[in-house]
Every structure is written in structure tokens, then in C-alpha cells.
Amino acid sequence: MKALIVCFGIAVISSYATSEAQSQVAPHKEEIFVIADLLGVPLSDKTLGHFLEFTERENRVYETVEEVKFRFRVFRANMIKATYLNETEQGTATYGATMFADMTRSEFQRHLGLVMPKTPPVKEAKPAVIPQIILPAEYDWRTFNVVTPVKNQGQCGSCWAFSVTGNIEGLYAIANNKLLSFSEQELVDCDKLDNGCGGGFFNTAFEAIEKLGGLETEDDYPYEGRNDQCTLNKSEIRVSVRDYVNITTDETEIAKYLVGNGPISIGINANAMQFYMGGVSHPLKFLCDPMNLDHGVLIVGYGVHRTRFTHKLLPYWLIKNSWGHRWGNKGYYMAYRGDGTCGLNRAATSAILS
Ligand SMILES: *[C@@H]1O[C@H](CO)[C@@H](O)[C@H](O)[C@H]1NC(C)=O
Ligand SMILES: *[C@@H]1O[C@H](CO)[C@@H](O)[C@H](O)[C@H]1NC(C)=O
Ligand SMILES: *[C@@H]1O[C@H](CO)[C@@H](O)[C@H](O)[C@H]1NC(C)=O
């Protein structure tokens, strides 16, 4: 009754054999035969090889035969999307089997979490005052030590909290010459204007931080990646917010605000990000609808990339994400700058610290 096959990290456990041995590694070649047979695809199927590589790299464990079949179908459909993104890419980005490659759209959605509030926040955001400065050709706030290492929101729609702490960390470090990491979990648990792992938005989060009195540090209120009781300790608050501003949709002005003030919270459509492997991302508009912002991230800089052979100039934003450092470009996304790519210019927002 032994029906456990461990192949490249895919554990296929048939439903009647749950108490059997946990790991039996069959010879390499046989595994491929077994899996190909199980999935009903020829050994020459290219996607099969990619799928096995992917499951090994990501240590995927699928518990039933049905699950393996289902994940392979999802993977294949996703690789068709990624190939299409590759073929129609207007920048230099490539798309492929990221850690989200076997996830359906709705499963991937759990790693996002930007939700526009149904009722408007208590207060309208004031328009930002844009500093009248001459922009340098490139800028990167990381070189000023005001950006914390890339964090990971996990399977919790708390992107909005990470975007907001990133903005506040930057402003705090610039003002105080000291980089502190602030607590997303405090927002997930205590911000009642937003919906924890169910999603949130910047304006409401800043509003909530004003009400709560401020943020604790990451160490004092560590991340759990799930909704929990609020355990805010007011005597551990290290930073407070007095107001927030709505930055324009003009990307030159966004750059001026960035250089003059610090990293900026932005909304974006994350459709292409599910499969992003690196490069300057510039998908066709209909592949990442600018009117449908579903993810909150942080602009920390910008630059211009010169393509290798054609010497085409590609202006880009340097965007800190919250999916860990294994995703994208060491956790960062580079998106084309200047035409509202994936709606990234539509919800630029920043706190004003007390
Ligand atoms: C997209 O192109 C890159 C670079 O050529 C390649 O590594 C990747 O596998 C391609 N993606 C797919 C899904 O074929
Ligand atoms: C709140 O934080 C202060 C300072 O770290 C500590 O002394 C106090 O015990 C904490 N209170 C609670 C209820 O944990
Ligand atoms: C910013 O202000 C504009 C114009 O008042 C408004 O349409 C937009 O919804 C505001 N955006 C945010 C994120 O508050």
C-alpha cells in the first residue's frame, strides 16, 4: 500500500496511504516517468520539465494526485501568461516561474491587499507641496541608509501596511539620522479603518496611525502575517504622524517629491509582478490595468537604463516590494517611468511626521 512518491519535492500521497513512510526517493528517471504518466503528458513536454524544476526549487509538497494535476494545469496556464508578457514586453523585463507560478489568481491575491476604502477616509488628503528642484538623472534613497531590508508580508493582504511603514521609515530616518523598522502587525491588528490581512489603503492607514498615536518598532510589535488582537503599548510608540498628502499623478512631480522628501507609497496593478524575474518592466496596458490598483508598494528611487544593443533609454522607478528578497530583483521591482505603467502614478501618497 505504499503510495508515496517524492519527486523533485513533489510528494504524491494517494488518499488511502496516509500513515505510510514519509520519504522515499525513487531514482531520478523513474520519477519523471511516474509524474509524466500521472499527468498524462509526454516526457518531451517542455512545461513538465519546468514544472519539476519549479517544484524542487520551491520545495512544493502537494498532498494528493488531484492536487498535483491541478497545480500542473495552473502552472501551465500561468506560463502561457508569462510567455505572453515576455513576447509583448516593451521594456527589458522577463517573466517566468516565480514562487507564485503554481498559484491561481485568487491565491496570488492573498499576497496583495490594496483595497480602496468604500467610505472615504475621515479627511480628504491635502495635495502635496512639490519642491521646485532640478532633478538629478538618478536617485536611490537606499544609498542614504533610509530604507530597511526587504520584508515579506506572506499570505496576508497587508501590502498597504508594508508600503506605509516603508514611507514612515524613510521619513523618520531622514529626519532623525537613524533607521528604524516599524511595525506592520500593529496596523494589521489595531487599525480599525482598514481590514488587516483582508486589505487596506494608505489614507486610512495614516488616519489610523494618527488616532493610535503612532507606530511601535518591528522588534517591539513583530510581524505574524495574520489578524490578531491589538496589543499596542503606547509607551513603546517611536514615531507619530500628523498628516498625509496626496501626491500628483505627474511622474516628474512624483520624482521631485521623492528627492525632496523621501520614499513614497504607491498603488500598482500587480498582474505582471506575479511572474516578474527582473529587468525594467513595461507591460502592455491591457496586461496590467492602470485603473485597477491591487497592490501597495514603495518608490525608493529612479534611474535610466540603457539597453545593451539598441542603446534605447528606459527611465524606471526603483520599487521596494514586500514579497521577500527572493522575488524579482533582490525583492525590488523596476517599472517603466513616465507613462503611468500599471497605474503606479495614481495613488502616490506620503505621511507627514509630527
Ligand atoms: C521569458 O524569457 C526569459 C528570458 O529569455 C526566459 O528565461 C523565461 O523562461 C521566459 N519565460 C517563459 C514563461 O517562457
Ligand atoms: C509597555 O512598555 C513599557 C516600556 O517598554 C514596559 O515597561 C511595560 O511593561 C509595557 N506594558 C505592557 C502592558 O506590556
Ligand atoms: C488625490 O486627489 C485627487 C484629486 O483631488 C483625487 O481624485 C484622488 O482620488 C486622490 N487620491 C488619493 C489617493 O487620495
Per-residue 3-state assignment (H helix, E strand, C coil) for 254-274: HHHHHHHHCCEEEEECCCHHH
Distance CA 283, CA 211 (A): 39
The grid coordinates of residue 57 equal 526549487
Cα 247 to ligand 3 centre (Å): 8
Cβ atoms 56, 9 nearer than 8 A: yes
pLDDT one digit per residue (tens) for the chain, 354 residues: 222 333 333 444 332 233 333 334 333 556 778 888 888 888 889 999 999 999 999 999 898 889 999 999 999 999 999 999 999 999 999 999 999 999 999 999 999 999 987 766 667 789 999 999 999 999 999 999 999 999 999 999 999 999 999 999 999 999 999 999 999 999 999 999 999 999 999 999 999 999 999 999 999 999 999 999 999 999 999 999 999 999 999 999 999 999 999 999 999 999 999 999 999 999 999 999 999 999 999 999 999 999 888 888 999 999 999 999 999 999 999 999 999 999 999 999 999 999
Output the residue whose Cα is nearest ligand 1's atom 3.
94
Nearest ligand to the CA of 266 is: 3
Asked if 295 is an active-site residue, the reply is yes
Residue 22, ligand 2, Cβ within 6 A: no
**Which residue ranges form the domains of the chain, and what is each CATH number?**
2-88 (no CATH), 98-353 (3.90.70.10)
CA 22, distance to chain mean position in Å, is: 34
